Amino acid sequence: MPEQPQVIQFVGFETALSREGFLPRWEPFAASFVARGIERVVLGEGDAAGGLRFISRNVWHEARFRAVFPSRLPGDAGGGAVTAVQLGVFRVVASDGVELLVARRGVVESIALARCRHDALGAIVLLLGELGRQHSAGVGWAAYTADPAVRGGRFKAVLEVYAAEEAAAWVGVALAEALQRQAARIEESRVQLLREVLARP
């Protein structure tokens, strides 16, 4: 039987809560999406210094995703202690050493998110793939482009690069600098370090 096509939804969470405070609020929502057909949710935790405190990588079979979100992603939601930010829905365009259904322990992920002009998307995705090859040191990377069939989401391209703990900060800086050099084509970018803390189901 042929493998079903997958789409990858990234959702960020803005919060000042610690992991212990956040997880009891997040788990019921993750469970509800698992019940609606999500294949896997991998939750990464960033540092508390700013940005998105948590980011989930939600792996869906395409048909199940379309049944839950037939025309577009919902807007950002929440308020109070936690706000969910729809980062976008993507397809993998290139990768090496990344299994989407697995949370990776013992390594640190640098995630680069980019929103760019439509006419620059192809070039930016190619750049992200090249950056992944340059900086993964054999640990793993994946580059994504926005699914054109889905409306909504803040970003149009994503790169995940995994590195050993001692190299992760350097990789994050290198990615941020490379994206800053593309300021004429990129409207917004963000690079953040994450540690994948759990996966459901």
- The CATH number given to whatever domain includes residue 193 is 3.30.70.100
Q: What is the total count of domains within the chain? A: 1
State how far the Cα of 127 lies from the Cα of 125, in Å rounded to an integer: 5
pLDDT at 201: 87
Residue 41: how many other CB atoms lie within 10 Å:
24
Domain membership flag for residue 35: yes
Q: Where are the alpha helices (DSSP H) in 36-138?
A: 62-68, 121-135
Give the 3-state secondary structure of residue 197: strand
Domain membership flag for residue 1: no
Domain range enclosing 192: 6-200
pLDDT at 53: 94
State how far the Cα of 140 lies from the Cα of 137, in Å rounded to an integer: 8
Please say whether the beta carbons of 191 and 111 come within 8 A. Answer: yes
**How large is the average pLDDT for residues 55-71?**
94
138: left (phi over 0), alpha (psi -120 to 50) or beta: left
Q: Position 103: which residue type?
A: A
Domain membership flag for residue 12: yes
74: preceding bond cis by omega (within 30 degrees): no
* Residue 129 reports pLDDT greater than 90: yes
32 vs 70, 106, 162, 201, CA distance in Å?
A: 17, 29, 29, 11
Is the pTM value of this prediction over 0.85?
A: yes
pLDDT at 127: 97
Mean pLDDT for all residues in the chain: 92
